[in-house]
Amino acid sequence: MAYFNYKSHNIYYEEIGTGTPLLMLHGNTASSVMFSEIAVKYSDNFKVILIDFLGHGKSDRLAEFPADLWFDEAQQVIAFLKAKDYKNVNVIGSSGGALVAINVALEAPELVTKVVADSFEGEIPLKEFTANVVEDRELSKHNENAKMFYQQMQGDGWEKVVDNDTLAIVRHEKEIGKFFHKDLAFFKPDILMTGSKQDEFVGSISPTYFEKIYGEMLSKIGHGTMHLFETGGHPAMMSNQDEFVSISKAFFAK
């Protein structure tokens, strides 16, 4: 197992395959384990890089997560890419990892070539989610499927990881309220936004949620495209895995 030192903490990473670097960023309460199957499907064309953000998976655990979680995780990624001398990197971010990917591209555009941002809520927290996140997370800790996911992603101590993440989400909405520090007009790399029209987190709000939010963001960026899957749950890249791989590879090849 390989580790990268960041502010006296160890961040776990793994590299698979050869070719153009492709960094895959996991979402909240997850870890790089979520990519164990799909990463192989890219490894014939790319050098796939997987990392566990601090506090997750095989990386060092934290007493608490920072309120500006997705920006802090972007700083971890930027430091990692610079230390490893990675340039012209393609990035795929899933859910919260998509927020991190966009932050990386905004803060260090010289490191990134293209971004696929999958199944994320937009520029600001989704109030319908944050309003109920504490109660929903408590319930999830007693749901067998959710517990199985948490245990698979985090191993021992998974409950503390979930609690840390929940608290960070609550604090972020109260103290910060936006995911990105820079205006989207400064976003330089090419970007593809993906999602499922049946995403359980946003489908109850509006069946056209992603179409509207992504459309507004792409207008501000001034370039980029979106692809919305008709079926599948959250995140779309996992529930539509084969089609997502095909679409993303075509995007990277352009």
Per-residue pLDDT of the chain (254 residues; tens, 9 = 90+): 799 999 999 999 999 999 999 999 999 999 999 999 999 999 999 999 999 999 999 999 999 999 999 999 999 999 999 999 999 999 999 999 999 999 999 999 999 999 999 999 999 998 888 888 999 999 999 999 999 999 999 999 999 999 999 999 999 999 999 999 999 999 999 999 999 999 998 877 888 999 999 999 999 999 999 999 999 999 999 999 999 999 999 999 99
Residue 46 pLDDT: 97
Q: Quick one: fold of 2-253?
A: Rossmann fold (3.40.50)
Residue 95's pLDDT is what?
97
Q: Look at residue 247 in the predicted model and tell me its pLDDT.
A: 98
pLDDT of residue 204: 76
Task: Classify residue 143 as exposed, middle or buried by CB count within 10 Å of its CB (0-12, 13-18, 19+).
Answer: exposed
Q: Could you tell me the pTM of the whole model?
A: 0.97
